[in-house]
Amino acid sequence: MSRIHDQSLGKLALALDTADWPSYVRWCRFFGPRVGVLKVGLEAFSRWGLRAVEVARRDAREVFLDLKLHDIPSTVQGAVAAARDHGVDYLTVHSAGGPEMLAAACAGSGGAVKILAVTLLTHLGAEDLGALDLPGDSSLRVRRWAALARRAGCGGVVCSPLEVADLRQENPRPFLLVTPGIRSSGIAADDQQRVATPEAALRAGADMLVVGRPITRAADPEGALETLAQEMGSR
């Protein structure tokens, strides 16, 4: 890959979502040197535990453990401390856990792990939020929860690309805006609802793009990664 592509892919977190261990190991080896971050999610962690983190750590520039912790403050603080001790660079918690839980997560990090607070999951639409008794403007809720996370000391938030522009205005860097729901033009949204292209998300102010299936499940993963690098570098 060209130098500009490599720089662009420094903003990519590659989601390692698979139930097959050989595929997981192969993805870590192939994608680890090529992208900024390898993301270990719930499926991999539930199947293989800390082994998944250790294998990703061997090849990754940085490791993102995406567990979306949501529990009482003392439990979350202990879980974050455990992740810190295993060399994780980023770890997710739920904004809905409230300010005390968010502050406890930050305390558990010891400054060594960037705590990312999840706002509203990208598969949730207006009907889903109504069923959860969370009606109203979803973007306003995201903005409020992002402010809550920032005040608690979190390093950033996870939000859909549709909320990035407003959040960037209210939360200047180095506060991180991490965006799943990234789909190139013409790529199926799968189970995501609030989506945008890589170029649009970066232009709005995103710091890190989370992409998984469009790359890992592609017939030609290397070609798909090259295309994504071009889109990220063109913004």
CA–CA distance from 47 to each of 53, 92, 125, 128, 209 (Å)?
12, 18, 29, 28, 25
User: Rounded distance, CA 3 to CA 9, Å?
Assistant: 10
* Catalytic residue selected from 11, 39, 68, 114: 68
Is the alpha carbon torsion for 83, 85, 88, 94 positive or negative?
Answer: positive
37 and 65 in contact (C-beta within 8 Å)?
no
9 and 37 in contact (C-beta within 8 Å)?
no
Look up 114 and say whether it is catalytic.
no
- What residues are annotated to the active site? 68
